[in-house]
């Protein structure tokens, strides 16, 4: 960011919002000057002293040239369109230093801030409009009839409701744990949550009373309402709305939202009735969302949240919890298995599981309830961001984060495939064009060749320590806005910071090879790692630099020329010599580009990476007709350098002309 010490007054303009667009303010149509951009308080003081009132301070994607005034508002609209940045995605300046670069005065007068009336800004509710438009495309239907399996399946073909059925192999939805983090905490609580002593007596009561036989569904309902009320501390009762009656919802003193934030679907026995309990709960939830969004008298901060909710299936003597959020439309996901309550009295493990389940459910309910309280402080979500994961800022790892373009390149280390082909001893792989690359014992020679190439990778610093270090350092979190989802089956997203810097944001579960990624960056083999954060429930977020568009994955090449293949092999050897293994060097994770006649290579996806013999493959790693793996089944096996070599050379052999 350019220095702002010499700037005493920052140009700004007043504006109004009409039809979700900025327009000129009739009383203040020309440029004004606030105070210093060094702090929000300094900038706003002269405005508050002169104009009073309540204003929202909007920052455009980039400073906008003031003159000529006659075309200013047309250019404002044009900048939004060109930068794919609708008004709602403009950042609000509400504290700290002005985040964008201040341009030299000789370049002209630029508008850095637009001041809009507070009422204008908060009157807009594009999120509700978006949701109603999406929901209205599916006609209202009686949940009890619509949940009949054949009828529900037919409707899913015409207008699917996002409930995880049927599966789509070309699209994986974003996990609900990333859309509302307390859901991730609940799932973790199911296996490792605390055993709360006060729940134990109630758990035994649940087992005894809910394992009974009930002649009518309403009798089971009454018992379950009482037991669930005892756990959650709020009365549970049937809810009536729009001609529908649910099996149970929460009674709140401050608002009535019918099936939100809790809905129960109850069956006397698993096989009772013609409708499926899961389908019926999903349809009741949909109709509850439709009803409350159409009722403008039901106001609150919850309208601009993802509207988290709990769906409880009590199917005979079993209980299961589903999580629900409302993005553009409802999304429902299974959170727990269906727990039987009629297990043997001596089955201590089953009782422990039930107590953890009940404790986690109570904590989840209390967390969700805060979203709907009158004085809720839930942060509003923008309509364009509601479909993306919840995290919207990152804490930089450290101040010396490097771009992969500023570190060493393959030429910096004297490892060349041509030289090593002659000096290294071991088996070799030949391609159809006659090029040869050494394998096997050559790894020792490669290691010797890079002995004088010093990379400080630390002493196997753990993800947890790295994350903790970041959070304790006095650095300001950097907000970002999601732009798109890059891959429909991976949790990889394109985003922009407030300074319009493009970044890549990735999410995953379990292990991430932070040390391996950082070492690869320092060796010029990977995009810069800007941040690593541990999230709720074992999830993590990684923020990386956005590579130049010249880079493409090898999966997009039918044939790779010899020089490109050589650079890829050199890069793999260089990474291996650092003592790390990657585990997933398939074509889509190897990026290349040709710049000024020279090929460059970068590796991505360090999810499984780490020290050899210290990291293992996760679940679901196996060889298929369309995806090569070194072994047929690899779940839980140690990741080795030999596996990386085999994967790379198989990929290159497939792309040799």
Asked whether the predicted pLDDT for residue 469 surpasses 80, the reply is no
Q: Average of pLDDT values for 590-597?
A: 95
Query: What is the structure's pLDDT at 475?
Result: 65
Q: Average of pLDDT values for 250-279?
A: 94
Q: Average of pLDDT values for 589-610?
A: 96
Query: What is the structure's pLDDT at 82?
Result: 56
Predicted confidence band of residue 445 (pLDDT cuts 50, 70, 90)? very low
CA distance to 113, 375, 520, 521, 590, per residue, from 606 (Å): 40, 42, 10, 11, 11
Domain segments of the chain: what residues? 11-123, 128-167+176-372, 394-653
Query: What is the structure's pLDDT at 404?
Result: 62
Lowest mean pLDDT among 452-456, 513-517, 544-548, 604-608: 452-456
Residues 328-382 pLDDT 10s = 999 999 999 999 999 999 999 999 999 999 999 999 999 999 999 988 888 889 8
Torsion of CA 104, 108, 112, 117, to 10 degrees: 150
Give the span between the Cα atoms of 114 and 285, in whole angstroms. Answer: 40
Asked whether the predicted pLDDT for residue 173 surpasses 50, the reply is yes
Query: What is the structure's pLDDT at 476?
Result: 83
Closest by Cα among 505, 523, 643 to 586: 643
Asked whether the predicted pLDDT for residue 269 surpasses 90, the reply is yes
Residue 67 · residue 82 · CB < 8 Å:
no
* CB hemisphere CA count around 302 (13 angstroms): 26
Query: What is the structure's pLDDT at 376?
Result: 87
Lowest mean pLDDT among 104-108, 120-124, 189-193: 120-124
Q: Average of pLDDT values for 416-440?
A: 40
Q: What percent of the chain has pLDDT over 90?
A: 69
Query: What is the structure's pLDDT at 80?
Result: 67
Closest by Cα among 23, 50, 17, 24 to 35: 50
Q: Average of pLDDT values for 563-570?
A: 97
Query: What is the structure's pLDDT at 466?
Result: 53
Which residues, other chains included, contact 636 with Cβ-Cβ below 8 Å and sequence gap of 6+? 616, 617, 619
Query: What is the structure's pLDDT at 472?
Result: 40
Give the span between the Cα atoms of 508 and 489, in whole angstroms. Answer: 12
Residues 202-227 pLDDT 10s = 999 999 999 999 999 999 999 999 99
Asked whether the predicted pLDDT for residue 413 surpasses 50, the reply is no
Using the structure block, give the residue that is written with the tokens 């809905």: 263
Residue 234 · residue 250 · CB < 8 Å:
yes
Q: What percent of the chain has pLDDT over 70?
A: 85
As a whole number, the mean pLDDT across the chain is: 87
Query: What is the structure's pLDDT at 416?
Result: 39
Predicted confidence band of residue 605 (pLDDT cuts 50, 70, 90)? very high
Q: What 3-state class would DSSP assign to 262?
A: strand
Which structure tokens are listed for 498?
């407030």
Residue 195 · residue 352 · CB < 8 Å:
yes
Lowest mean pLDDT among 39-43, 443-447, 491-495: 443-447
């Amino acid at each position: 960011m350019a220095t702002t010490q010499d700037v005493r007054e920052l140009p700004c303009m007043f504006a109004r919002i009409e039809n979700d667009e900025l327009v000129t303010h009739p009383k203040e149509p020309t440029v004004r000057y606030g105070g210093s951009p060094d702090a929000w308080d300094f900038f706003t003081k002269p405005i508050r002293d002169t104009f009073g009132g309540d204003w929202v301070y909007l920052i455009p994607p980039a400073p906008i040239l003031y003159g000529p005034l006659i075309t200013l508002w047309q250019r404002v609209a044009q900048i939004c369109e060109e930068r794919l940045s609708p008004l709602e995605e403009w950042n609000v300046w509400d504290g700290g230093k002005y985040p964008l670069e201040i341009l030299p005065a000789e370049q002209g007068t630029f508008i850095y801030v637009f001041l809009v009336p507070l009422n204008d800004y908060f009157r807009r509710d594009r999120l509700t409009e978006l949701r109603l438009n999406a929901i209205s495309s599916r006609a209202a239907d009686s949940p009890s009839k619509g949940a009949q399996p054949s009828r529900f399946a037919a409707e899913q073909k015409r207008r699917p409701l996002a409930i995880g059925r049927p599966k789509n192999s070309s699209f994986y939805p974003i996990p609900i744990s990333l859309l509302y983090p307390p859901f991730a905490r609940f799932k973790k609580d199911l296996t490792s949550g605390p055993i709360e002593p006060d729940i134990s007596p109630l758990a035994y009561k649940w087992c005894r009373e809910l394992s009974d036989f009930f002649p009518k569904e309403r009798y089971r309902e009454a018992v379950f309402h009482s037991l669930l009320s005892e756990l959650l501390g709020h009365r549970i009762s049937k809810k009536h709305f729009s001609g529908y009656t649910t099996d149970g919802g929460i009674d709140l003193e401050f608002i009535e939202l019918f099936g939100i934030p809790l809905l129960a679907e109850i069956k006397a026995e698993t096989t009772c009735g013609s409708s499926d309990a899961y389908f019926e709960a999903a349809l009741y939830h949909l109709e509850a969302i439709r009803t409350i969004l159409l009722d403008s008298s039901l106001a609150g901060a919850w309208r601009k949240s993802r509207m988290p909710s709990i769906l409880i299936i009590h199917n005979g003597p079993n209980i299961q919890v589903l999580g629900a959020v409302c993005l553009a439309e409802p999304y429902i996901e299974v959170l727990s298995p269906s727990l039987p309550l009629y297990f043997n009295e001596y089955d201590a493990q089953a009782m422990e599981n039930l107590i953890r389940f009940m404790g986690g459910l109570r904590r989840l309910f209390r967390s969700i309830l805060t979203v709907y309280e009158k004085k809720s402080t839930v942060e509003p979500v923008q309509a364009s961001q509601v479909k993306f994961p919840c995290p919207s800022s990152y804490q930089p790892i450290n101040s010396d984060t490097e771009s992969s373009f500023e570190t060493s390149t393959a030429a910096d280390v004297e490892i060349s495939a041509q030289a090593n082909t002659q000096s290294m001893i071991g088996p070799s792989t030949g391609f159809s064009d006659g090029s040869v690359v050494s394998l096997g014992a050559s790894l020792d020679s490669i290691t010797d060749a890079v002995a004088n190439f010093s990379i400080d990778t630390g002493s196997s610093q753990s993800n947890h320590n790295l994350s903790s270090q970041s959070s304790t350092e006095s650095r300001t979190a950097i907000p970002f806005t999601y732009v798109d989802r890059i891959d429909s089956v991976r949790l990889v997203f394109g985003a922009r910071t407030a300074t319009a810097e493009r970044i890549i944001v990735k999410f995953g579960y379990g292990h991430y090879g932070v040390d391996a990624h950082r070492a690869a960056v320092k060796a010029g083999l990977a995009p810069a790692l800007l941040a690593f954060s541990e999230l709720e429930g074992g999830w993590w977020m990684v923020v990386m630099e956005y590579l130049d568009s010249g880079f493409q994955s090898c999966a997009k090449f039918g044939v790779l020329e010899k020089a490109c293949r050589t650079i890829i092999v050199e890069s793999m050897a260089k990474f291996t010599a650092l003592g790390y293994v990657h585990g997933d060097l398939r074509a889509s994770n190897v990026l290349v580009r040709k710049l000024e006649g020279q090929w460059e290579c970068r590796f991505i996806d360090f999810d499984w990476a780490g020290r050899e013999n210290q990291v293992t493959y996760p679940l679901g790693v196996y060889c298929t007709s369309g995806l090569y793996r070194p072994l047929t089944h690899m779940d839980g096996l140690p990741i080795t350098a030999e596996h990386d070599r085999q994967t790379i050379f198989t990929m290159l052999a497939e792309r040799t002309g």
